[in-house]
């Protein structure tokens, strides 16, 4: 079934039934199974939106169980008496105390089924989210598998989906999902293989010039909070990597020729005295620019021009002003598409040119979480939607912006021209 992508800011379509499935971790990893481990299925609140999801992120409050079904290895199915009100079931690494109390009050593990043991319950983890889309005759269920566990919540990634009769019960859906849960398994159970970049070596970036005086630290904190409060529909902060901080002291050169190399080369100072060489190729400011890095560069006596002459003899370059750059990144992910972006707020200061400053918010594509239905052609639409959400948020905060592709290279050129004009008028 073709993946549907939900980019709407509001609900549409039929509600999606959602279930959180707890199983022994041996279902996902090569480890001994624990005797007496059942399968618990918690019915969550339905989703009104109706679209498919590349990812789900469940915080404690999102795991509130409306009903609970127990499935045993012997094939028994037991619907427990529902809690008096939806009850948070999972707190990242264990059942919540309230949920454990509820299970014991219903007679699990002892009375209801002697096959279920205390050790079996302790072995359980949140492995699957099932998203069931119901049609008049045929329905389908998306299977999302646990892909990241953090103290703030658990991230699930879609690995497959299957069609079934609209009348299919939760036991059938769970067994089918467990049988298919090993799809893309080494992209969900191993964190360093979870992502890819379909345009490796290309920077994709939209920018907003900040036209009002504003603290970039305060602004970054506010944006982070707004995303976490759900004010950027369809986006979440990257669990466990929500905010990153950067500082650069950078020596800059413009590449004037040959035509295929036109752009910018920068030496970024490292604490060990070496440099990272940042090379960008672009004939004009644009959404996409070629970008590469060389790490561990040694520049004797700070002779940057000499290094370039030796390492890149075919280039014609001119030195530009150096600058200091501070940047705070709010890292976000699209639940609908799995694309990951940075909302990167930075301030560039050019000490040698009267401390001229440039403040921007950059929306940069970073990577895409691997999932069933992944579609790289949606990157630009996702970035445009995110940029519009940031624009709207900043406008609501009373901050004036200008959407642009204005690069640091163009800014440095303008610094030179501005200084020359001032000198001529002096």
Q: What is the pLDDT of residues 386-402, one digit of tens each?
A: 999 999 999 999 999 99
More confident residue, 307 or 1: 307
DSSP string, 87-111: EE-B-SSSB-HHHHHHHHHTTTTTT
pLDDT of residue 40 exceeding 90: yes
**Burial (CB count within 10 angstroms: exposed 0-12, middle 13-18, buried 19+), residue 296:** exposed
pLDDT, position 353:
87
Quickly count: other Cβ atoms within 10 Å of residue 259's Cβ.
7
Contact between 124 and 40 (Cβ < 8 Å): yes
Per DSSP, the residues of 4-21 read -----SS--SSPEEEEEE
- Among 186, 44, 192, which residue's Cα sits nearest to residue 126? 44
Question: Tokens representing 267?
Answer: 């030496």
Pairing between strand 55-58 and 153-165?
antiparallel
* Least confident among 12-16, 210-214, 375-379: 12-16
pLDDT at 68 over 50: yes
141: phi then psi, degrees, rounded to nearest 5: -125, 130
What pLDDT score does 69 carry? 95
- Going by pLDDT thresholds of 50, 70 and 90, the confidence category of residue 159 is very high
Percentage above 90 pLDDT, the chain: 83
The pLDDT score that the predictor gives to residue 419 is 62
Distance CA 141, CA 131 (A): 5
pLDDT at res. 380: 97
pLDDT bracket for residue 50 (50, 70, 90) = confident
pLDDT mean over 284-291: 97
Residue 277 structure tokens? 């060489």
ω into 331 cis (within 30 of 0):
no
Of the listed ranges 36-40, 74-78, 169-173, the least confidently predicted one is 74-78
Termini Cα distance of the chain: 70
Backbone angles phi, psi at 341, to 5 degrees: -135, 155
Q: What is the pLDDT of residue 331?
A: 98
Where is average pLDDT lowest: 6-20, 34-48, 170-184, 202-216?
A: 6-20
Evaluate if residue 239 carries a pLDDT over 90.
yes
Q: Residue 112 pLDDT more than 70?
A: no
Tens-digit pLDDT profile for residues 252-268: 999 999 999 999 999 99
Q: 329-376 pLDDT, tens per residue?
A: 999 999 999 999 999 999 999 998 888 999 999 999 999 999 999 999
pLDDT at 304 over 60: yes
Q: Which residue has the tokens 């912006």?
A: 401
Residue 11, pLDDT above cutoff 70: no
> Residue 329 gets which letter from DSSP?
E
Per-residue pLDDT band for 13 (boundaries 50, 70, 90) equals low
pLDDT in tens, 82-106: 999 999 999 988 999 999 999 988 8
* Statement: residue 189 has pLDDT above 90: yes
Q: Which of 244, 199, 231, 227 is nearest to 345 (CA)?
A: 244
> For all residues of the chain together, what is the average pLDDT?
92
- Tell whether the model's pLDDT for residue 12 goes beyond 60: no
Tokens of 40: 């618990």
Q: Of the candidates 99, 115, 113, 111, which has an alpha carbon nearest to the alpha carbon of residue 67?
A: 99
Instruction: Judge if pTM exceeds 0.75.
Output: yes
For helices 379-396 and 216-228, what crossing angle results, to 10°?
110
**Which tokens sit at 389?**
């959400």
Output the CA–CA distances (angstroms, integers) from residue 76 to 62, 155, 171, 295, in the order listed: 28, 29, 10, 59
Q: Reply yes or no: is the peptide bond before residue 109 cis, omega within 30 of 0.
A: yes
Query: Hey, how many other C-beta atoms are within 10 angstroms of the C-beta on 172?
Result: 14
pLDDT, tens only, 171-180: 999 999 999 9
């Amino acid at each position: 079934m073709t993946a549907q992508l939900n980019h709407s800011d509001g609900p549409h379509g039929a509600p999606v039934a959602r279930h959180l499935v707890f199983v022994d971790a041996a279902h996902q990893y090569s480890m001994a199974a624990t005797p007496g481990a059942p399968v618990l299925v918690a019915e969550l609140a339905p989703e009104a939106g109706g679209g498919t999801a590349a990812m789900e992120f469940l915080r404690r409050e999102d795991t509130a169980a409306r009903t609970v079904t127990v499935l045993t290895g012997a094939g028994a199915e037991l619907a427990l008496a529902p809690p008096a009100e939806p009850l948070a079931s999972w707190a990242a690494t264990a059942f919540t105390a309230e949920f454990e109390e509820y299970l014991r009050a219903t007679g699990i593990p002892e009375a209801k089924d002697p096959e279920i043991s205390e050790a079996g319950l302790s072995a359980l983890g949140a492995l699957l989210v099932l998203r069931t889309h119901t049609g008049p005759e045929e329905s389908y269920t998306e299977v999302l598998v646990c892909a990241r566990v953090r103290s703030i919540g658990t991230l699930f990634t879609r690995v497959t989906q299957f069609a079934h009769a609209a009348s299919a019960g939760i036991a059938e859906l769970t067994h089918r999902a467990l049988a298919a849960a090993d799809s893309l398994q080494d992209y969900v159970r191993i964190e360093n293989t979870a992502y890819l970049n379909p345009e490796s070596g290309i920077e994709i970036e939209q920018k907003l010039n900040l036209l009002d005086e504003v603290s970039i630290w305060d602004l970054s904190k506010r944006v982070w909070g707004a995303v976490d409060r759900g004010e950027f529909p369809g986006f979440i902060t990257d669990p466990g990597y929500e905010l990153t901080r950067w500082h650069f002291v950078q020596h800059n050169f413009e590449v004037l020729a040959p035509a295929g190399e036109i752009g910018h080369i920068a030496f970024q100072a490292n604490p060990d005295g070496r440099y990272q060489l940042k090379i960008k190729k672009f004939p004009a400011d644009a959404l996409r620019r070629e970008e590469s890095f060389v790490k561990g560069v040694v520049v004797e006596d700070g002779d940057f021009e000499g290094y370039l002459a030796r390492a890149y003899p075919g280039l014609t370059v001119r030195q530009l002003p150096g600058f200091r750059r501070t940047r705070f990144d709010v890292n976000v992910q699209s639940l609908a598409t799995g694309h990951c972006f940075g909302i990167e707020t930075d301030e560039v200061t050019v000490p040698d040119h009267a401390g001229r400053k440039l403040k921007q918010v950059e929306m940069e594509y970073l990577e895409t979480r691997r999932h069933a239905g992944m579609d790289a052609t949606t990157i630009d639409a996702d970035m445009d939607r995110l940029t519009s959400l940031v624009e709207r948020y900043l406008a609501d905060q009373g901050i004036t912006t200008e959407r642009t592709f204005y690069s640091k290279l163009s800014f440095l050129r303008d610094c030179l021209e501005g200084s020359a004009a001032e000198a001529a008028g002096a």
